[in-house]
Amino acid sequence: MGVIRTIAVVILSISFVVFVALFGRLPAFRRTPVAFLHRLLLKHIPNAFGVLDERLTGRRVSRSLARTGDYLMNEKHPLVLVFFLLLQIIGEVLFIPASWDRLGVSQKIVIPCLVAAPLWFLYLSATTSSNITPANHAACMRIYPYDFALFHPGYFCSTCHFAKPARSKHCGICKACVQKQDHHCIWINNCVGRNNYIWFILLLVSIAMLLAYGTQLGYVLLDGRLQERFVPAALTRGSLTAKRWSTKMGWGEFWHCWAWAISVEWRIGAVMMLAFMSFPLAVGFLVYHVYLIWAGMTTNESGKWTDWKEDIEDEMVYKARISELRETYPPLPEDVEPRDQDVSWPAGVRAKWWLVRMEDGRKPILRSRVKEGEEEGDGMEQHREVVDERWAKVESLKEVENVYDLGFWENLKDSMFNRG
């Protein structure tokens, strides 16, 4: 029992810390205990350690750790990818040889496929680039329309000096603007974007299937070992009903039997428990991305929509019809704002409203020049500020249409097959 408890505590602790570190910043967990633990883990504990280190070593240890952390989190390196790869390979090297002689023909056919799939999709996810380059920039500008909420025409990347295509984002780790940037994934040492999103989703699916199958197969093998140990075949020969090793067994004795099985078959048992406790993490990633596809969003965009929601609740957001604003703000040059007919998004699915965020909460104003003599003044040109009545306050996020949401199946089609 002690073996199971120790392995379970270690694996659960690591899985929980990884979950908090990776998911704690997601908009869905704002103002929740997960967000608090994320701040505690990545902000408050390091700050407290810094204060202590200041007194003891003059922050020498903190500076060294900060440089290491900055390299691990903000530089493009393969360390986490290598760890991820080794974790899978070591688990398979431990599990498969120890169980191979007890597997059936169908299992011996399925296992190589389940082992190879995550490795292949990991390779494709890590090596497929969605970066925007001078060669493909013009084409990237015509992939998605601007929604005039999250993405407006006329903005340039201060690093790449490109006009920013709709749904793109500059990644400080990859040192490039990325098409339909979802997030930078340290597990694949690459940005998840337009070109490799399909491989990333298939990686999550294949890992979830591998973990589920490994858990199920490990359970079957250890259960068979317990059956053989406590109910030998000689005892059930000629019996009309099968006898289970756990029949009429209390919970304490039941778990002690499993502890014995795991200690005897430690390679199978340890990998089975690791797979069982890692499975929810893989499924959590997969379910979250299925939700994003359903909502027509990326991880980057979900955070932006959450910010808009909070600003709307603070009564800081206004909207106006784009058709009316064009009287004041005509379209930009085609290399900065492509014409609607040149954008390869379904015709007719375009933004109708222009959203602005007003820090003071007041309705936008128009400035008009007043010529000399029209109004009393000092003879110099004056400006008159007039409230722009074209703008109306946004009362709810439901009033804002997401032009990138075409319905689940079309969103799925776009995510999987709209690739450069």
> Could you give the residue numbers annotated as active site?
185
Residue type, 253: E
Q: Which residue has the tokens 């014995």?
A: 260
Name the helix (H) or strand (E) containing 208.
Answer: helix 197-230
Distance CA 362, CA 376 (A): 27
Distance CA 254, CA 247 (A): 10
**Which residues neighbour 368 within 8 Å (Cβ) at sequence distance 6 or greater?**
383, 384, 386
Residue type, 73: M
> How many of the other CB atoms lie within 10 Å of CB of 198?
18
Distance CA 129, CA 343 (A): 22
Closest Cα partner for 61 from 74, 73, 75, 51? 51
Tokens representing 256?
Answer: 């002690």
**Which residues neighbour 367 within 8 Å (Cβ) at sequence distance 6 or greater?**
383, 384, 385, 386
**245, 226 in Cβ contact below 8 A?**
yes
Name the helix (H) or strand (E) containing 184.
Answer: strand 183-185
Q: How many CA atoms lie within 13 A of 22 on its CB side?
A: 16
Closest Cα partner for 335 from 49, 117, 140, 147? 140
Q: Which residue has the tokens 């688990």?
A: 91
